[in-house]
């Protein structure tokens, strides 16, 4: 009989309980990845991210081959075909047990229920692990027995639970087992990668092989963890880990991040402040995953806060295009939006600034922005993206209060004081020295090609407050109806 490791967003060998259990069985082990390009298309996954996943698989296949585990990659189209394709694969290879890492988005859970049904008919066991998170989504409940919807108390409980239930260690015996392991999926992957060859210029910036990613984690912990709290909000600095693509595709395990950060803090007291702040980001990651798993309606585009369904968002295509293309006339917003298009990534501070600018200053529907991010981010992750957008639009769980509106000029002066980041992405502003870069409309002769602001910043807060109030009034009337 054969043990089958079914890979999804857990594209690694280390800190992978499913693979370790399969290897420990002493039976033959195979691995499989079911490629669903049409599903990616339906989910609006960025081409750069698609390429990242395929590159990660190419490297995973080699690593698995060295362990004597052949990786098959099968074209499946959409999730709706997965159960049948996996069943036939299991029949062909005499599989009696499948190992996988649990996934929590709505369509993924529906796919997995279908697989569970067909495997039950064949008496094939499925063993699933919660390795995609540090604390499984249905573990922590509030004093009233509900799911957490506010981050701070969640974080406190999360920390206590993890101290009592630390994530399992690596446990992979990585010594090669067979003379020459096979990698049957290689040709398929090479052909698929050729489809996005025009994006190959980005490959160096986003390493997708596990060994390099683990080295980057070690370097970040060593060089940047201690200063993380101080540096993380300044986009011109190399102050954050840049590991989000690897974490969201599972090339890197959250467990390894957590364990290394905790070890560093124990070893080096000076790393404590930065380390705790960084571990807090891993808690945000779990928080949004538990929100998504416990409120599946979010996957249908609904806001978390019911009354915000009645907000009359603008549908101004011209303003939306100006935002997408980084032509709003607000330097920090434009630099950030160009960073996204040029690199497939955007700094966290700027994700908040640009999302708030779209939803509060332009008053455009947060779902438009959520989709644009997903179509361009190399780390596009449904839970984190939806959570971040609903936070910024004040429609979500632990959202920014609706009357809080970032001023993009002040954000620039605070977090990019000398304008180094802005000038990197907005060359039209190169002639403006130092702080002058934040208000280019005061020096039009020095930046003739840069647009005028597309909207005024005056009166924004009042407009937002009355729009949210109007939505609440409609919600109340509907309750009475």
Ligand X SMILES: Cc1cc2nc3c(=O)[nH]c(=O)nc-3n(C[C@H](O)[C@H](O)[C@H](O)COP(=O)(O)OP(=O)(O)OC[C@H]3O[C@@H](n4cnc5c(N)ncnc54)[C@H](O)[C@@H]3O)c2cc1C
Distances (CA, A) of 69 to 10, 29, 186, 303: 16, 6, 13, 43
Decide: is 351 part of the binding site for ligand X (CB under 6 A): yes
Binding mask 286-325 for ligand X (x = CB under 6 A): --x-------------------------------------
- Segment near ligand X (CB under 6 A); pick from 1-9, 291-299, 345-353, 413-421: 345-353
Decide: is 192 part of the binding site for ligand X (CB under 6 A): no
Beta carbons of 292 and 104 less than 8 angstroms apart: yes
Measured from the CB of residue 191, what is the shortest distance to ligand X in angstroms? Answer: 28
- Segment near ligand X (CB under 6 A); pick from 35-43, 69-77, 162-170, 374-382: 374-382
- Cα–Cα dist 17/21, whole Å: 6
Beta carbons of 167 and 259 less than 8 angstroms apart: yes
Query: Which member of 348, 375, 407, 431 binds ligand X (CB under 6 A)?
Result: 348
Decide: is 149 part of the binding site for ligand X (CB under 6 A): no
Beta carbons of 349 and 387 less than 8 angstroms apart: no
Question: Measured from the CB atom, is 39 or 354 closer to ligand X?
Answer: 354
Question: Measured from the CB atom, is 226 or 247 closer to ligand X?
Answer: 247
Decide: is 221 part of the binding site for ligand X (CB under 6 A): no
Which of 206, 368, 372, 389 is flagged as catalytic? 389
Longest dimension (CA), the chain: 75
Pairing of the two strands 125-129 and 95-101: parallel
- Cα–Cα dist 454/365, whole Å: 17
Measured from the CB of residue 287, what is the shortest distance to ligand X in angstroms? Answer: 7
* Radius of gyration, alpha carbons of the chain: 24
Measured from the CB of residue 251, what is the shortest distance to ligand X in angstroms? Answer: 12
Long-range Cβ contact pairs of 327-330 (< 8 A, separation 24 or more)? 327/451, 327/454, 328/357, 328/451, 328/453, 328/454, 328/455, 329/440, 329/441, 329/450, 329/451, 329/452, 329/453, 329/454, 330/357, 330/408, 330/409, 330/453
> Residues 200, 204, 206, 211: what is their CA dihedral angle, to the nearest 10 degrees?
120
Question: Measured from the CB atom, is 213 or 377 closer to ligand X?
Answer: 377
Query: Which member of 100, 251, 319, 377 binds ligand X (CB under 6 A)?
Result: 377
Spacing of C-alpha 360 from chain mean position: 23
Measured from the CB of residue 284, what is the shortest distance to ligand X in angstroms? Answer: 4
SS3 for 411?
A: helix
SS3 for 147?
A: strand
Measured from the CB of residue 349, what is the shortest distance to ligand X in angstroms? Answer: 8
**281 noted as active-site residue:** yes
Which of 6, 158, 206, 284 is flagged as catalytic? 284
Question: Measured from the CB atom, is 136 or 388 closer to ligand X?
Answer: 388
Which of 366, 368, 372, 391 is flagged as catalytic? 366
Decide: is 283 part of the binding site for ligand X (CB under 6 A): no
Which of 216, 281, 307, 428 is flagged as catalytic? 281
- Segment near ligand X (CB under 6 A); pick from 68-76, 194-202, 284-292, 329-337: 284-292
Question: Measured from the CB atom, is 5 or 397 closer to ligand X?
Answer: 397
DSSP 53-118: HHHHHHHHHHHHHHTT-PEEEEE--SGGGHHHHHHHHHHHTTEEEEEEE---SHHHHHHHHHHHHH
Measured from the CB of residue 45, what is the shortest distance to ligand X in angstroms? Answer: 11
**284 noted as active-site residue:** yes
Which of 276, 294, 348, 407 is flagged as catalytic? 348
The continuous run of DSSP H or E covering 425 comes out as helix 420-425
Query: Which member of 355, 399, 429, 437 binds ligand X (CB under 6 A)?
Result: 355
Question: Measured from the CB atom, is 3 or 351 closer to ligand X?
Answer: 351
Measured from the CB of residue 405, what is the shortest distance to ligand X in angstroms? Answer: 15
How far separated are the first and last CA of the chain, in Å rounded?
Answer: 62
Pairing of the two strands 125-129 and 71-75: unpaired
**9 noted as active-site residue:** no
**389 noted as active-site residue:** yes
Distances (CA, A) of 469 to 36, 134, 312, 461, 473: 43, 38, 11, 12, 6
Query: Which member of 185, 380, 408, 412 binds ligand X (CB under 6 A)?
Result: 380
**264 noted as active-site residue:** no
Spatial CA neighbour of 412 closest among 384, 385, 390, 432: 432
Decide: is 162 part of the binding site for ligand X (CB under 6 A): no
Count of residues interacting with ligand X (CB under 6 A): 28
**165 noted as active-site residue:** no
Binding mask 224-253 for ligand X (x = CB under 6 A): --------x-------xxxxx--xx-----
Contact footprint for ligand X (CB under 6 A): 232, 240-244, 247-248, 281-282, 284-285, 288, 348, 351-352, 355, 373, 377, 379-381, 384-385, 387-389, 392
Active site residues: 281, 284, 313, 348, 366, 389
């Amino acid at each position: 009989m054969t043990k089958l490791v079914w890979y999804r967003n857990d594209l690694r060998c280390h800190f992978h309980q499913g693979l370790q259990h399969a290897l420990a069985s002493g039976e033959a082990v195979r691995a499989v990845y079911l490629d669903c390009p049409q599903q990616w298309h339906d989910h609006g996954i960025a081409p750069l991210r698609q390429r990242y996943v395929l590159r990660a698989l190419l490297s995973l296949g080699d690593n698995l081959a060295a362990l004597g585990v052949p990786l098959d990659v099968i074209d499946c189209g959409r999730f709706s075909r997965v159960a049948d394709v996996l069943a036939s694969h299991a029949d062909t290879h005499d599989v009696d047990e499948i190992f996988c890492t649990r996934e929590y988005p709505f369509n993924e859970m529906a796919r997995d229920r279908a697989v569970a049904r067909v495997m039950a008919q064949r008496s094939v066991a499925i063993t699933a692990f919660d390795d995609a998170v540090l604390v499984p989504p249905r573990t922590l409940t509030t004093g009233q027995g509900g799911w957490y919807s506010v981050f701070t108390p969640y974080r406190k409980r999360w920390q206590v639970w993890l101290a009592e239930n630390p994530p399992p260690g690596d446990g992979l015996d990585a010594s090669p087992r067979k003379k020459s392991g096979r990698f049957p999926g290689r040709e398929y992957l090479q052909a698929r990668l050729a489809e996005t060859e025009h994006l190959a210029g980005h490959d160096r910036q986003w390493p997708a092989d596990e060994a390099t990613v683990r080295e980057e984690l070690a370097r970040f912990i060593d060089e940047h963890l201690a200063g993380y709290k101080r540096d993380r909000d300044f986009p011109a600095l190399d102050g954050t880990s840049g590991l989000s693509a690897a974490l969201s595709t599972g090339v890197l395990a959250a467990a390894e991040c957590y364990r290394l950060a905790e070890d560093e803090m124990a070893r080096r007291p000076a790393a404590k402040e930065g380390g705790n702040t960084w571990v807090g980001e891993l808690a945000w990651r779990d928080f949004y995953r538990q929100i998504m798993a416990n409120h599946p309606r979010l996957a249908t585009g609904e806001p978390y806060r019911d009354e915000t369904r009645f907000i009359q968002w603008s549908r101004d295509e011209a303003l939306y295009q100006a935002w997408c293309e980084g032509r709003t006339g607000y330097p920090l917003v434009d630099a950030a939006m160009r960073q996204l298009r040029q690199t497939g990534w955007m700094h966290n501070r700027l994700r908040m600034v640009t999302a708030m600018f779209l939803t509060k200053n332009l008053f455009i529907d947060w779902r438009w922005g959520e989709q644009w991010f997903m179509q361009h981010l190399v780390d596009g992750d449904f839970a984190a993206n939806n959570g971040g957008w609903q936070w910024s639009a004040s429609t979500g769980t632990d959202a920014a209060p609706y009357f809080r509106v970032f001023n993009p000029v002040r954000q620039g002066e605070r977090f990019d004081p000398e304008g180094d980041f802005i000038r990197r992405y907005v060359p039209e502003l190169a002639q403006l020295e130092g702080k002058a870069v934040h208000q280019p409309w005061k020096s039009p002769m020095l930046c003739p090609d840069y647009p005028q602001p597309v909207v005024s910043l005056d009166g924004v807060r009042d407009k937002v407050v009355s729009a949210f109030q109007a939505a609440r009034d409609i919600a109340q009337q509907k309750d009475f109806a």
